[in-house]
Structure 1
């Protein structure tokens, strides 16, 4: 849900930075973080390796229902990471967006 709605935002940010690295942030409901991180961090490590992007997932702030994911890299790396993160949510959370 949140990842899809921010898809255009991510692509827009990365297009502006085509010649160098870019950083984008995506907010996700904190209950979906486990579907992205995986047991012992296995899924997020796989996404990092496959995309080549740097990915950081912040803890939810007290009282907030969202966590912020920061993705850094080139346009292709960010696009690949974004797609892989969407796949993780679809496959492991059982939620469609």
Structure 2
């Protein structure tokens, strides 16, 4: 169940960060509410995961997956370009998440 909570936390964080770009400094109500609520739910579900899984592992997975998804959304939705170093960096982040999940004894499976 911990990984389900982590996936939910990541999803809320990705939605919140995507909305944050549209808040224009929290001057637009709807994106601001979405961003704040999304971060609230993300941290709630993240706290559930932290009851069992070590904080360093959780944060590595949460932030790594968030970076990858946000970058994809920025590329598709906001038309932000990605050059070769950016793609290489994203690939390394993804590789790190895979290594942690497959080989770390710190992760509670």
Taking structure 1 as the reference length, what is the TM-score of the superposition? 0.32
Greater Rg over alpha carbons, structure: 2
- Larger relative helix fraction: 2
Structure with the bigger RCO (C-alpha within 8 Å, sep 6+) is 1
